[in-house]
């Protein structure tokens, strides 16, 4: 995956994503990432559609990011997993420590492992595209 989220922009982008979510009534529990991806832990209300929430977050943040990085763009899809309340602290810590975590395992390797652990069948060409397979 291309590295389009420059380190100096990351804190600003995480804050911007949080502000967008708040503006549509979505509670952000954690946000973070590295140069090529972002993780957001959200509490989405029962009356809100996750697909709409993600579309709004990606659309608004990509417009904002293109003001300083014209080549910026999110991938077409996204991955979403539910989290048990007993694991929230663990997931928050994982999101906060992305840089350290991905020194040992790439995002692509990790995402494939998450899909397999959740017993989700997938086609690597559809998940990452033919040029981005782990």
pLDDT tens per residue, range 18-32: 999 999 999 999 999
pLDDT tens-place string over residues 41-100:
999 999 999 999 999 999 999 999 999 889 998 988 888 989 999 999 999 999 998 888
How far is 13 from 95, CA to CA, in rounded Å? 14
The answer to the question of residue 50 being in a domain is yes
The answer to the question of residue 18 being in a domain is yes
CB 61 within 8 A of CB 10: no
The answer to the question of residue 86 being in a domain is yes
pTM of the model: 0.84
Number of domains present in the structure of the chain: 1
The answer to the question of residue 126 being in a domain is no
Could you tell me the residue range of the domain that residue 24 belongs to? 10-103
Task: Please report, for the domain that includes residue 78, its CATH number.
Answer: 3.30.70.1290
The answer to the question of residue 2 being in a domain is no
Q: By CB neighbour count within 10 A (0-12 exposed, 13-18 middle, 19+ buried), where does 120 fall?
A: exposed
The answer to the question of residue 110 being in a domain is no
The answer to the question of residue 109 being in a domain is no
Looking at every residue in the chain, the average pLDDT score rounds to 89
How far is 96 from 93, CA to CA, in rounded Å? 5
């Amino acid at each position: 995956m291309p590295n389009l989220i420059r380190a100096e922009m990351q804190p600003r982008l995480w804050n911007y994503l949080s502000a967008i979510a708040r503006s549509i009534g979505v509670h952000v529990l954690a946000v973070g990432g590295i140069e090529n991806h972002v993780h957001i832990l959200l509490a989405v209300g029962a009356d809100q559609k996750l697909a709409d929430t993600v579309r709004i977050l990606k659309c608004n943040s990509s417009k904002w990011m293109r003001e300083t990085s014209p080549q910026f763009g999110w991938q077409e899809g996204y991955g979403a997993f539910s989290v048990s309340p007993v694991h929230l602290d663990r997931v928050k810590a994982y999101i906060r420590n992305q840089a350290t975590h991905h020194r040992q395992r790439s995002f692509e390797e990790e995402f494939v492992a998450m899909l397999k652990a959740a017993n989700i069948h997938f086609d690597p060409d559809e998940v990452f595209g033919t040029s981005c397979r782990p």
